[in-house]
Copies of this chain bind each other. A is one copy, B any other.
């Protein structure tokens, strides 16, 4: 891998799990002359400073973006419009604005209208994460071997796209280009629907009678245990995902509930052949996921 500075000044608007993990990579490999973190809460900025993963911090998005050749929005999607409006006046001509949001079509609609001419918007989405949040939860190997999906609108400057892609390659990611709407469709099934379902089943457990609920927690088995991990993810981030990928989520959810109803009927009538047939078919998908080497959850290996 080549080394050296990729950007003079990177502004990270939001320094949670993803932003702080990227900051760690940039710091470790010296990929930027200066990294500034922007967050609303003083504790978050204090943590980023204490961890020594950024060069400076500020509460003001406009101040962070001033003079930056790369601004990455790492906040929940619902805040993007406000962030874009705040940074717009201080963006330099030729600056690149990117993001890490889990939904891409809504992001284009929220950000693009605010950006001045001469600023390049290169949205992207690292398919990596854990259920933990905040700057302490990040680690510099989070993106290794993971996909970074880059979804620039047609006509985006190719050099800007390549500069963002290179940053993520340095973080260890594989980069693939995708249409924003298509991204949202794929992620609805790989990520958004599973999260919605996990939240639901853990919510169903939350509503159980106290005695039963305490036993469900105590004897938590494979299945529920995994669901609780998924359902431990950041509430605001996920609220915004569902509010901003409604159509794809509802479409895939419709398919899912149809299939669940069919399976429920198979259980009710005792159709063992139908159950076994589905249960055998799904193994092939698992084999595919393992073969694609995306089956191991990312965990910190070197630092906490």
Which chain A residues have a beta carbon within 8 Å of chain B's beta carbons?
A: 78, 127, 129-131, 147, 149, 176, 185-187, 189-208, 212-213, 215-236, 238-240, 242-243, 246, 249-250, 252-253, 255-257, 259-260, 263-264, 266-268, 270, 272, 275-276, 278-289, 292, 294-295, 297
CA distance A272 to B238 in the complex (A): 10
Q: How far is the CB of A59 from chain B (nearest CB, A)?
A: 23
B204 touches A252 (CB 8 A): yes
CA distance A240 to B192 in the complex (A): 30
Name the contact of A286 in the complex, choosing from B131, B192, B259 (C-beta under 8 A): B131
Q: 8 tightest CB-CB pairs across the interface, nearest first?
A: A194-B223, A235-B279, A232-B286, A217-B288, A191-B221, A231-B282, A202-B282, A190-B224
A186 touches B219 (CB 8 A): yes
CA distance A199 to B196 in the complex (A): 16
A228 touches B292 (CB 8 A): no
A217 touches B186 (CB 8 A): no
8 interchain pairs, CB-CB under 8 A: A186-B212, A190-B224, A199-B263, A204-B252, A206-B285, A234-B279, A242-B267, A253-B267
CA distance A185 to B212 in the complex (A): 9
Name the contact of A220 in the complex, choosing from B256, B264, B294 (C-beta under 8 A): B294
A264 touches B253 (CB 8 A): yes
Q: Which residues of B contact A260 (CB under 8 A)?
A: 196-197, 200, 257
Q: How far is the CB of A158 from chain B (nearest CB, A)?
A: 23
A223 touches B243 (CB 8 A): no
Residue of B nearest to A146 (CB): B221
Q: How far is the CB of A261 from chain B (nearest CB, A)?
A: 8
Q: A206-B284, A226-B230 are in contact. Are A275 and B221 (CB under 8 A)?
A: no
Q: A186-B219, A246-B267, A292-B217 are in contact. Are A197 and B199 (CB under 8 A)?
A: no
Q: Which residues of B contact A205 (CB under 8 A)?
A: 189, 285
A200 touches B259 (CB 8 A): yes
Q: How far is the CB of A180 from chain B (nearest CB, A)?
A: 14
Q: A190-B219, A250-B268 are in contact. Are A231 and B286 (CB under 8 A)?
A: yes
B226 touches A194 (CB 8 A): yes
Task: Give the interface centre of A127, A176, A242 by most chain B CB atoms within 10 Å.
Answer: A242
Residue of B nearest to A234 (CB): B279
CA distance A288 to B229 in the complex (A): 11
A280 touches B235 (CB 8 A): yes
Q: Which residues of B contact A295 (CB under 8 A)?
A: 220, 225, 228-229
A129 touches B222 (CB 8 A): yes
Q: A250-B264, A286-B232 are in contact. Are A216 and B199 (CB under 8 A)?
A: no
Q: Which residues of B contact A200 (CB under 8 A)?
A: 256, 259-260, 263, 278
CA distance A193 to B235 in the complex (A): 23
Q: A186-B212, A286-B202 are in contact. Are A223 and B230 (CB under 8 A)?
A: yes
